[in-house]
Amino acid sequence: MSKKMDIVELLHENSRLTDKQISVITGLSEDEVKDIVKSLEEEKVILKYSTLVNWEKTEKEVVRALIDVRVTPQQGQGFNAIAERIGQYNEVKSVSLISGGYDLSVEVEGKTMKEIAIFVAERLAPIDGVLSTTTHFILKRYKQDGVFFTDGPEDKRLVVTP
């Protein structure tokens, strides 16, 4: 694997790593790390640095839902144009093309279930090309991006030593 991919994976796992820490891990100089990170940002490989938050442990009320959307692909654009249009709404956190009975999976965020229901009924469903939607409210998140929101399951594997 290239040093560039090493840096991508390191930052994906922990975006708080400093250039100095990355240089120690990869064996590159700090200047080389800075140049590689800058090029990754310019090439849109690195799009954003973010923090994974357990909102249940804060006072902020957040409701999330996954919406399965069945659409009619547009001539010459397929699913791209409608996916990009859906992605323009502030409530929308992600849009993905999926296989199966639906075409798009849309993750949305709001303050209440009613707010999300109104978004679906008044803004998402009326979009030209949207045939149907099915909304699944996220009641509890157990794991995201490889991180358990609880203490996680107990590791019952035996340790093997040489």
3-state secondary structure 86-152: HHCCCCEEEEEECCCCCCEEEEEEECCHHHHHHHHHHHHCCCCCEEEEEEEEECCCCEECCEECCCC
Containing structural domain, residue 70: 58-141
Do 79 and 127 reside in the same domain of the chain? yes
Evaluate whether residue 147 is within a structural domain.
no
Structural tokens at position 41 = 């940002």
How many domains does the chain divide into?
2
Residues above pLDDT 70, as percent of the chain: 93
In a domain, 104, yes or no: yes
Q: What is the pTM of this model?
A: 0.79
CA dist 145 and 14 (Å) reads 11
pLDDT of residue 39: 93
| Residues 87 and 26 placed together within one structural domain of the fold | no
72 and 33 in one domain? Answer: no
Question: Please, which pLDDT band fits residue 1 given cuts at 50, 70 and 90?
Answer: low
- Going by C-alpha positions, the residue among 156, 140, 157, 158 that lies closest to residue 148 is 140
Q: Is the pLDDT of residue 157 over 70?
A: no
123: left (phi over 0), alpha (psi -120 to 50) or beta: alpha
Question: Can you tell me whether residue 71 is helix, strand or coil?
Answer: strand
Distance CA 30, CA 94 (A): 34
Helix (H, G, I), strand (E, B) or coil at 46: coil
Residue 67 lies in a domain: yes
Beta-sheet pairing, 104-110 with 92-97 = antiparallel
The answer on 64 and 133 residing in a single domain is yes
pLDDT in tens, 44-101: 999 998 888 888 888 888 999 999 999 999 888 889 999 999 999 999 999 999 999 9
Q: Considering the domain boundaries, does residue 12 fall inside one?
A: yes
Query: Is residue 107 one of the residues assigned to a domain?
Result: yes
Q: Are residues 39 and 7 in the same domain?
A: yes
Mean pLDDT (the chain) is: 91
Q: Are both 130 and 77 inside the same structural domain?
A: yes
137 & 65 share domain: yes
Residues 63 and 130 in one domain: yes
Same domain, 16 and 69: no
38 and 62 in one domain?
no
Same domain? For 63 and 23 the reply is no
